[in-house]
Chain A
Amino acid sequence: MMKNWMMICLALFSGVNIAMADCGNAVDRLSISHAYVREMPPGMDTTAVYFSLINKGDKAVYLIGASSLLSQRAEVHMTMEKHGMAHMQHQTEVKISAGQSIFFEQGGMHLMLIGLKRDVKAGDKVPVTLLFNNDVELEFGAEVRDFRHKPDGHHH
């Protein structure tokens, strides 16, 4: 029960905010939860954002870009593993089918912030904007989290 309340508070606190273009309701149908940014050692210029993205609508949407005020660039990457060798693959378009939830998580799909303008510390809030097809933008704040002691970013 307590946990559920915490989840709800966290979701509210994450403050999913919509700045939108297409007067349509596409943004209302998209929601973000469990958004975290990985705290990195001081001086590092990249980090990753993890979150769940849900498309509650009845049409597929396409994630085609991302940005953050805190970094020069933001790119969706997928960690692929083959024969014990891991590679990052830049994803230029991610389809989220109607009713589908997509998990951005460690060792899988993640939003990479490249060229951090400053160190991010646990507790900080990082603004992130996702860009979808039809000029739909979704803004949210992701909390920086220290994964050393709670390394499991999973939530499902």
Chain B
Amino acid sequence: MTEFKKTGRNTPFWVLGIGIAILGFSVSFAWWNSGQKAPVVPEKYSEVGGDFTLTSDHGPVSLQEFRGKVGAVFFGYTHCPDICPASLSNIAAAFDRFKKTEQEKLFGILISIDPDRDSPGKVSKYAAYFHSRIYGLSGSPEEITAVAKQYMVAYQKDEADAAGKYLLGHSSYIFIINAEGRVVDLMGHKASPEDIARVLRKWLL
């Protein structure tokens, strides 16, 4: 009994120490965990995103159709030689890092910012080459302008060459969309498949 009392008198310091450590750890973990789930979008882009309806080779496609799924939306064009195929390859490779059953909860959308040359059929086939879960969409120039504005995507035709061929400068972000259809992260075009897969997985859970 006395011995018990003795220990009882000596322990509070280290018990308290451990208690504080555990508490501190829990608080910081909770903070870190909530931080992990909060949208990671620069202030300037905090309002971007929203639903849209554009056209694929199978008719109209709306972002609303992908509720419950996590996706990557990219603006590009089929004549783009470097960044667009690189980003789409990286998104495809990111999807391949998921099990087939998980892949059903993922989607990719390529929105053409070159509707004059990219018909819905052309951009759909182009996107599907990279992955069966990447949908290529186009629309009228007005529709594309409206969606680009929603996502704060800038694009500009460069001067055409003698053969009438031209390139476009364009925003190269990959917009990560959560199950509620919100933009929750912006990734640069140099993001690796691992980076993209990690972010998709975070929002899939």
- Chain A residues with a Cβ under 8 A of chain B: 38, 40-48, 72, 77, 79, 81, 84-88, 106-107, 110, 112-115, 147-152
Nearest chain A residue, comparing its CB with the CB of B42: A84
- Given contacts A148-B131, A149-B93, whether A112 and B83 have CB atoms under 8 Å apart is no
At the interface, yes or no: B81 with Cβ under 8 Å from chain A?
yes
At the interface, yes or no: B182 with Cβ under 8 Å from chain A?
no
Do A86 and B78 touch (CB < 8 A)? no
Enumerate the 5 nearest inter-chain pairs by beta-carbon distance, A residue then B residue, closest first: A41-B129, A87-B169, A86-B172, A151-B89, A106-B86
Nearest chain B residue, comparing its CB with the CB of A81: B172
A151 contact from B90, B169, B170, Cβ within 8 A: B90
Do A46 and B170 touch (CB < 8 A)? no
A38 CB contacts on chain B under 8 angstroms: 81, 85
At the interface, yes or no: B37 with Cβ under 8 Å from chain A?
no
A149 CB contacts on chain B under 8 angstroms: 92-93, 96
Q: How far is the CB of A107 from chain B (nearest CB, A)?
A: 5
A112 CB contacts on chain B under 8 angstroms: 81-82
A41 to B79, CA, bound (A): 11
A43 to B193, CA, bound (A): 26
Do B81 and A148 touch (CB < 8 A)? no
B79 CB contacts on chain A under 8 angstroms: 44-46
Give chain B's interface residue range (CB within 8 Å of chain A).
35 or more
Q: How far is the CB of B43 from chain A (nearest CB, A)?
A: 14
- Given contacts A44-B79, A84-B173, A87-B169, whether A147 and B189 have CB atoms under 8 Å apart is no
Q: How far is the CB of A103 from chain B (nearest CB, A)?
A: 14
A43 CB contacts on chain B under 8 angstroms: 122, 125
A12 to B76, CA, bound (A): 37
At the interface, yes or no: B165 with Cβ under 8 Å from chain A?
yes
Do A107 and B189 touch (CB < 8 A)? yes
A152 to B171, CA, bound (A): 21
Do B171 and A88 touch (CB < 8 A)? no
Do A44 and B78 touch (CB < 8 A)? yes
A135 to B148, CA, bound (A): 46
Do B190 and A107 touch (CB < 8 A)? yes
Do A77 and B81 touch (CB < 8 A)? yes
Q: How far is the CB of A137 from chain B (nearest CB, A)?
A: 23
Do B83 and A148 touch (CB < 8 A)? no
Do A40 and B167 touch (CB < 8 A)? no
A152 to B191, CA, bound (A): 11
B158 contact from A47, A88, A114, A150, Cβ within 8 A: A88
A112 to B81, CA, bound (A): 7
B81 CB contacts on chain A under 8 angstroms: 38, 46-48, 77, 88, 110, 112-113
At the interface, yes or no: B126 with Cβ under 8 Å from chain A?
yes
Name 15 interchain pairs, CB-CB below 8 A, sorted by A. Answer: A41-B125, A41-B126, A42-B129, A43-B125, A44-B78, A44-B126, A77-B82, A85-B171, A86-B83, A86-B189, A87-B169, A88-B167, A112-B82, A147-B86, A151-B92
At the interface, yes or no: B53 with Cβ under 8 Å from chain A?
no
Q: How far is the CB of A123 from chain B (nearest CB, A)?
A: 16
Q: Render B174-201 as a binary contact track against A, CB cut-off 8 A, 1 for contact.
A: 0000000000001011101100000000
Do B89 and A148 touch (CB < 8 A)? yes
Do A147 and B89 touch (CB < 8 A)? yes
A42 to B78, CA, bound (A): 11
Q: In the complex, which residues 110-127 of chain B have their Cβ closer than 8 Å to any Cβ of chain A? A: 122, 125-126
